[in-house]
Amino acid sequence: MEVLIFAGIIVLMVLVLDSRKTIAALRNRIDILENRDRQAAVPTDQSKMAETVKPAPVASEPAPEAPVKRAAKAATEPEKLTTQAPPQPSRKVYKPKSPPPPASPTSTKPAEPRPSAAKRFEELIGGKLPIWIGGIALIFAGFFLVRFSIEAGLFGPAARCVTAALFGLLLIGLSEFGFKIPKFGKIFTDDVRIGHSIAGAGIAVLYATLYMASELYGLLSLYPALGGVIAVTILAFVLSQRHGPPTAIMGLLGGFAAPYVAGLGPESVAPLLIYLGVFTAGLFGLAIHRGWAWLALLATGGSVLWTTALLFMDLSGDIPFVGAFIVLLAIGGVLTLSRTGTSFGIPKPVMQAIPLGVGLLQLVTLAPLIEFSLVSWLFFGVLAVFAIALAWRDENLTPAVAGALGLSLAMVATAFTGTGSDQTQLIAAIALATLFTAAGHFFALREKDGWMWAAIGLVAPTAMLLFIYTLADLDWSQNSWALACLFTAATTAFMAWRTRAVAAFLPPPLASALTAVLIAIALWIWTPQSLGALVAVAVAAALAYWARFIRRKAITIQSAVAIALGGVIMLADGFGLVEVVFESLTRSTDLYRFLPELGPSIVELLLPAIAIVGIAYVFREGFGKVLSKIIAGFGLIAIGGFIYSLLKQPLAIGPIEDFVSYGFAERAVFTHLLALGGWLLLRRTWDEKLATPLQSLGFALAGLALFRFVYFDLFLLSPTNVTQLMGPAPIANLGTLHFTAAMLWLWLYARTETLVTSLPKLVRPLEIGSLLAAIAAVMVTVRQAVHGTDIAMPPISSTETYLYSAGLLVLAIAWLARGIQTTNALLRISGLLLLTLVTIKVFVIDAAQLEGILRILSFLGLGIALLGIGWIYGKVMRSDEAKAEA
């Protein structure tokens, strides 16, 4: 009873739809009858007019009957036209729409207004969606009609299948011949989409019937069922030629939904895969025939949904069959899309890569389900080879190979994480690395996509080696790993050589960098730890040479990075020197305990530093002026650190007692050695190639010497503040000699031609600094003469104060005399200024501390000295004025 009610509802819906079409047909018939008289009243003289314009026939060929004459002839037979029966409804066959011809530039026809949003909504909801939803409803009506009969026990299995088949054939028959049914046929002629929808629904019902007959009831064995599926697929193919994409879509939906509606079980995997294979193959054939890329994509998507669902079921031994189906589906999808057009605005290479990428991703998901067995690796390898073959034929598909490489690395990482060091996983990883490496090398020189192939050939072996080392639990020896690194480096080095002339930016630098890293790792494994910096610097030298050979700035930068890496290793090995620097800046005196051992420092510090300086000089053109100076400066600093460590060895100053005895002497020697080295480098005229680096080194040494003198000797560790022994001699002591030598160095630097030419603004500050150093030397000499070797502890006495005035007065007179002799205005002015300060000191400070004859003698001596200086200086001034007037 329920079946009859359901069928009645369907018939009622059809009649309601038909009533609207019937009214429209009646109106059309009335219009035809009203136009009959107008057609009969056409003037008969149209034939005469046609005769006057009839062209003359060509003599060599008989002239065909002109179209105008045929039109006139038709016009002379009005009775025949008026007595014709109304035209019978004709079948409308689907034809692909061609794009409209371009509008003529001279056309003045206004463009049709765009329909409003309300109109478009009405057309969609009222005109299009009901038809398609109605077709889908018919599909489910057939499915659930059969299911209802099963649940109610109305028919036996054979009767159910026959009923379902008849229902499907009925739908197809209506789509093909429904237009001939009186009155009812107007539904199909007025809107061809109804026929399209019903045809698709019928195809879907037939697919479901075949699956039900073969799987649920066993009425059909494998081969008859397979033949039936093929027959229905062919039928769908034929119908789609008449009804277009809608039929194909409905057939596709019904075909993929049939197993689900019938009920899927894990025990029917093999038949289901055969069904999906044949069904999908039919859809692929239809897509190729009609050029429907969208159909191929949808067919691939439907099969992917089924196979993905199967992967998450407990299929035990049937998983390999699913893997084989995935491989065939991916290959078939790509090949099908290569024979079709484009859809959805997606570029064709991207469409072709979709089935391949999805297939590879599914295989990565499948592999753990079968414990990464050899079969899973073979499946993945087949698709990887297929991807390479596709990219070989079409360079636009090369990114698909890169994606396959990425998925292969993910699969290897998952395998090693889950199963450890299984031999199968190791062989599979090496095989995949070999496959992608060989392909990358083979196609690396292609013009358009060669750079990507080169990257694939470089990443494959290095990334695979990295994954094997970090994830696989292998008990390889260190020598084995070093050999693996060297073997991988051989492949990357070969790529660097092959692509040396390639204009693309990526291949040569990437290949060179990977080669350098792998060789460095191998050498680090084989050599002692103390040679780590030397290995890095040797690799940097090789990179610098290779960069100069192929003229690539990027590889030069890599060489600089390798040097920086060597520097970091040197810093780690000689970190004690860094501690010495920081400790010395914080007034620490026990520095010897931080120094690294001298013997190992030769290998860890000195030799790499010399090599770095040599690289900076030999390859200075490649590095450029700035970078070569930086690199050379780094090496020279390291060499200086070693020399400092070497010079610290004789005295080996450790406890505070040693510092008091030898600290000032050691510091003075270091400072003056730096000053001497800088002055020798600056005063000499060097060859043009050596001038810049050596003069830069001279400036650096001079600056370091000046910094040491100012920071340590005048402020941080001044002998007047920190106890340090100067020596017992009144003048020949360390304090006098050190400060006097500093005065001389500053004056000599100010007179050095290189400094005057390069840094003329520093000349005057250096001269002033020299004069200040002379004042410091006088004061240190006076204090040492009064207190002896230790000038830090005793307080200032009155005698010391008088001697300061006397010593500075002598110094001022010496400056004046030298200034007058050499016509040096700075010395004269400085002498006068110092003389003024000494005079003020004598009147204000010294006179207050003297009494009696001593006060008289001091003022007497000061007065005579001032008078003499004034008289002499007056003559000098008058002499200068006379020369100026002359």
Task: Note the pLDDT tens digit of each residue in 85-106.
Answer: 445 444 445 454 444 444 444 4
Predicted confidence (pLDDT) per residue in 132-157, tens digit = 566 566 666 666 666 666 666 666 77
Q: How many CB atoms sit inside 10 A of residue 501's CB?
A: 9
Max CA-CA distance within the chain?
A: 165
Residue 534's pLDDT band (cuts 50, 70, 90): very high
When mean pLDDT is compared across 42-51, 437-446, 588-597, 600-609, the lowest value belongs to: 42-51
Kindly report the average pLDDT of the chain as a whole number: 79
Who's near 513: CB < 8 A, 6+ residues apart?
Answer: 555, 558
The confidence score (pLDDT) of residue 340 equals 84
Among the residues of 473-585, which ranges form H helices?
A: 478-498, 507-526, 532-550, 553-573, 575-585
Q: What is the pLDDT of residue 475?
A: 83
Within 10 angstroms of residue 183's Cβ, the number of other Cβ atoms is 11
Pair 269, 310: CB distance under 8 Å? yes
Closest CA to 261 of 164, 195, 171: 164
Long-range contacts of residues 306-312, Cβ cutoff 8 Å, at least 24 apart: 306/256, 306/259, 306/272, 306/276, 307/276, 307/362, 308/362, 308/365, 310/269, 310/272, 311/362, 311/365, 311/366, 311/369
Q: What's the pLDDT at 44?
A: 45
Residue 210 has pLDDT above 80, yes or no: no
State the virtual CA torsion across 214, 217, 221, 225 in degrees, nearest 10.
Answer: -20
What was the pLDDT predicted at 404?
93
Mean pLDDT confidence for 314-324: 80
Query: Residue 494: pLDDT above 90?
Result: yes
DSSP 614-650: HHHHHTHHHHHHHHHHHHHHHHHHHHHHHHHHHHTTT
244-263 pLDDT per residue, tens: 676 677 667 767 766 665 45
- Quote the distance between the C-alpha of residue 765 and its chain's center: 52
Q: What is the end-to-end Cα distance of the chain in Å, rounded?
A: 143
Reported as a pLDDT band with limits 50, 70 and 90, residue 82 is very low
Q: What is the pLDDT of residue 103?
A: 46
pLDDT at 49: 41
Q: Compute and round to an integer the Cα radius of gyration of the chain.
A: 51
pTM for the model stands at 0.70
Mean pLDDT throughout 260-269?
A: 60
Q: Could you tell me the pLDDT band of residue 12, with boundaries at 50, 70 and 90?
A: very low
What's at 302, amino acid-wise? G
Tell me the mean pLDDT in the region 286-315.
85
Picking from 577, 474, 483, the residue whose alpha carbon sits closest to that of residue 521 is 483
Say how far residue 102 (Cα) sits from the centre of its chain: 45
What number of CA atoms fall less than 13 Å from residue 325's CA on the CB side? 28
Q: Could you give the percent of the chain with pLDDT greater than 70?
A: 72
714 near 776, Cβ under 8 Å? yes
Does position 243 have pLDDT exceeding 80, yes or no? no
- Let me know the angle formed at the C-alpha of 158 by 153 and 164, rounded to the nearest 5 degrees: 85
Contact criterion met (CB below 8 Å) for 811 and 747: no
Least confident of 576-590, 689-703, 836-850: 836-850
Domain ranges of the chain: 1-38+129-263, 527-649
Residue range 566-583: mean pLDDT, rounded: 89
Three-class DSSP category at 48: helix
**Quick one: average pLDDT of 646-672?**
87
Percent pLDDT > 90 in the chain is 31
The whole-angstrom separation of Cα 337 and Cα 298 is: 11
